[in-house]
Amino acid sequence: MKNLVFSILLLILVTPWTYAQKALNSGTIKMSITEVKSDDPQVEAQMQMMVGSETELVFDGEEHVTNMSMMGGMINIKNYVNNAEKKMDMLMDMMGQKLWVETTLDQAQSPQERQVAEMSKISYDKNDRKTILGYSCYKMTLTNPEMEGMQIIAYVSEDIKTKANNLQGFQSLTFSGYPLEYTMSSPQFSLTMTTTEIKDAVDKSRLKLNTTGYKKMSMEEFQKSMGGGGFGF
Q: Using CB atoms within 10 A of its CB, is residue 141 exposed (0-12), middle (13-18) or buried (19+)?
A: middle
| CA within 13 Å, CB half, 135 | 26
User: What's the sign of the alpha-carbon dihedral 82, 140, 122, 148?
Assistant: positive
Structure confidence at residue 4 (pLDDT): 38
- 159: confidence class by pLDDT, cuts 50, 70, 90: very high
- Rounded CA gap, 99 and 214, in Å? 5
Which pTM was predicted?
A: 0.80
Higher pLDDT among residues 174 and 223, named by residue = 174
DSSP secondary structure of 172-216: T---SSEEEEEEEE-SS-EEEEEEEEEES---GGGGS---TTPEE
Per residue in 114-151, pLDDT tens?
A: 777 788 999 999 999 999 999 999 999 999 888 888 89
Q: 143 near 166, Cβ under 8 Å?
A: no
Domains and CATH numbers, the chain: 24-225 (2.50.20)
Structure confidence at residue 11 (pLDDT): 33
